[in-house]
Amino acid sequence: MKTTIQHNNQEIEVDLSKPIDISIPLTNTDDNPIAWYIEKPVIEPVVFGDWIGKVSEGKSSTNFNNVFFNPHGHGTHTECLGHITSEFYSINQSLKKFFFLAELVSVVPEMQGEDEVITRDQIKKAWGNSSAEAIIIRTLPNFRIKKSLKYSNTNPPYLAENASQFIRENGIKHLLIDLPSVDREKDEGKLLAHKAFWNVKDVNNLNSDARLDCTITEMIFVDDHIEDGSYLLNLQIASFENDASPSKPILYAIL
């Protein structure tokens, strides 16, 4: 279904019948990716005495599951600056628009000592003269095992502070990446890339120019057949009053 969308004074034609899902589904199996030293999600039926909320058990007319998970450690999630501030901010209150012009870029992190780092120069070169509101970073090599990796204690690649600063200075409001964090796994709590992106100078006394309406989405997966370039992004979240929510970013090719 082709449609033309008026977006920021631009007419964008997309085919809404051909969504490109770049989220990782949450499961209670060993295939679920995990970060931050936790166990896999738990999805199990409610039990009240002899009653089990599972149709196949023959004791319920409905499936009635409890779900226990962590949005930051168990899959694709979108977070607001409340992730790093002492004052509470909710992703549900921070993200009020859901369609954005996005640029998908692919980069090979550079070795710096024992770390693999996405540098400012790499982002600047990949970004070019784009005027998009969102950047989607796919790291290479792009193995499908990313969809089930156990990231804890593996020192995954991360975004350099000045690369995150470049993203902010270019007016990019939404950052999506296929890693468990934009920051180093063990960085002594510095969170330099997070702070640079949201322009947070003091987590205990938020500056007036901090970027309250900007988001970071982590642990996406962008398949190899999806080409670098411009897309219409639909950034879908659940209505959690929390610093982060599981999310479902969807891309639409621009015709």
- Tell me, what DSSP letter sits at residue 162? H
How much is the pLDDT for 3?
87
Measured in degrees and rounded to the nearest 5, phi and psi for residue 245 equal -140, 145
Helix (H) / strand (E) element for 99: namely strand 99-107
Q: Are 65 and 97 in contact (CB under 8 A)?
A: no
Is 244 part of any domain? yes
Is 11 part of any domain? yes
Is 126 part of any domain? yes
Give residue-wise pLDDT tens across range 130-164.
999 999 999 999 999 999 999 999 999 999 999 99
When pLDDT is cut at 50, 70 and 90, the band that residue 5 belongs to is confident
Is 249 part of any domain? yes
Q: How far is C-alpha 22 from the chain's CA centre?
A: 9
> Which residues, in sequence order, are CB contacts of 99 under 8 Å at separation 6+?
5, 7, 232, 233, 234, 235
Give residue-wise pLDDT tens across range 14-69.
999 999 999 999 999 999 999 999 999 999 999 999 999 999 998 899 999 999 99
Is 50 part of any domain? no
- Tell me, what DSSP letter sits at residue 87? S
Please say if the pLDDT value at position 2 is more than 90: no
Which domain covers residue 146, as residue numbers? 2-25+72-253
Please say if the pLDDT value at position 7 is more than 80: no
Q: What is the CATH number of the domain that holds 189?
A: 3.50.30.50
Q: Are 135 and 102 in contact (CB under 8 A)?
A: yes
Is 216 part of any domain? yes
- Tell me, what DSSP letter sits at residue 227? P
- The Cα–Cα gap between 147 and 173 comes to 25
